[in-house]
């Protein structure tokens, strides 16, 4: 391989000798002689350059000196993750490093937390959380983030509808990026629940005395790739696994 490389380099240097004259003219100025090459010689040089480049590329590749560029600069792609469960209580979730994610309304592993999308969700509406459906005891966002809130926590129907829309956005983003998704959103039953709830025409006076008729129960998720979730057994869903109204 080294002999071939040296031979190609010698040929490369010889092909360039005729192009540049390093002498000075009578005025002392450096000049370049005209290149009087014909087409065959030009074609020969092009082929020689190509062979030389390919030879060097092959040498670098075989010696491990070349590292292919990353396929994408997206920090989410190929990100390692753990699929451990967040636990069975808010205390366990915090101990396991999980985050209260307002999109699914539950504790999620950090690798299943889409911070940018959650920010959009929280800014989408004037959201409030309550300890009762009448809205007598309001809970702050900081309280919900740090503790997960009571089980259930009550919200408006508009909040629930936005929750459904954003869970689908989060799921789609995970599929496109090849990243994991929390087990609440990854379950097909949750999609059935949300699609059913959004397709039902609601009577505005169904719960006239309730300020926050939708309820979310504490949810503790695991973190898996969307393709790993097993399809549910065929059944009809009622009012939902985590929300009722």
- How far is Cα 41 from Cα 54, in angstroms, rounded to an integer? 20
At 54 the pLDDT is: 53
Q: Is 101 helix (H, G, I), strand (E, B) or coil?
A: strand
Candidates 98, 79, 78; CA nearest to 147 is 98
At 74 the pLDDT is: 39
At 225 the pLDDT is: 82
The pTM (predicted TM-score) of the whole model is 0.60
Instruction: Give the residue, 43 or 69, on which the prediction is more confident.
Output: 43
Token pair of 95, please?
């101990």
Read off the pLDDT band of 52 (50, 70, 90). Answer: low
- How far is Cα 107 from Cα 145, in angstroms, rounded to an integer? 9
Q: pLDDT tens digit string along 82-115?
A: 457 899 999 999 999 999 999 999 999 999 999 9
CB of 155 within 8 A of CB of 216?
A: yes
Instruction: Give the residue, 150 or 49, on which the prediction is more confident.
Output: 150
CB of 119 within 8 A of CB of 105?
A: no
At 33 the pLDDT is: 41
């Amino acid at each position: 391989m080294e002999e071939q490389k040296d031979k190609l380099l010698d040929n490369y240097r010889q092909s360039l000798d005729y192009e540049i004259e390093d002498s000075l003219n009578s005025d002392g100025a450096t000049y370049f002689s005209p290149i009087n090459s014909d087409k065959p010689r030009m074609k020969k040089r092009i082929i020689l350059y190509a062979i030389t480049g390919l030879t060097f590329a092959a040498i670098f590749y075989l010696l491990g000196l070349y590292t292919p560029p990353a396929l994408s600069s997206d920090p989410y792609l190929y990100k390692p993750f753990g699929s451990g469960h967040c636990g069975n209580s808010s205390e366990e979730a915090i101990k396991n490093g999980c985050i209260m994610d307002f999109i699914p309304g539950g504790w999620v592993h950090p690798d299943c937390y889409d911070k940018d999308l959650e920010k959009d969700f929280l800014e989408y509406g004037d959201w409030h959380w309550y300890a009762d459906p009448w809205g007598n005891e309001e809970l702050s966002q900081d309280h919900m983030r740090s503790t997960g809130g009571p089980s259930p926590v009550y919200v408006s129907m508009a909040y629930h509808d936005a929750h459904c829309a954003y869970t689908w956005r989060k799921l789609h983003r995970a599929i496109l990026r090849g990243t994991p998704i929390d087990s609440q959103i990854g379950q097909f039953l949750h999609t059935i629940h949300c699609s059913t709830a959004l397709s039902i025409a609601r009577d505005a006076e169904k719960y006239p005395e309730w300020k926050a008729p939708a309820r979310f129960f504490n949810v503790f998720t695991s973190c898996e790739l969307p393709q790993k979730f097993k399809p549910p057994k065929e059944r009809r869903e009622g009012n939902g696994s985590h929300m009722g109204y």
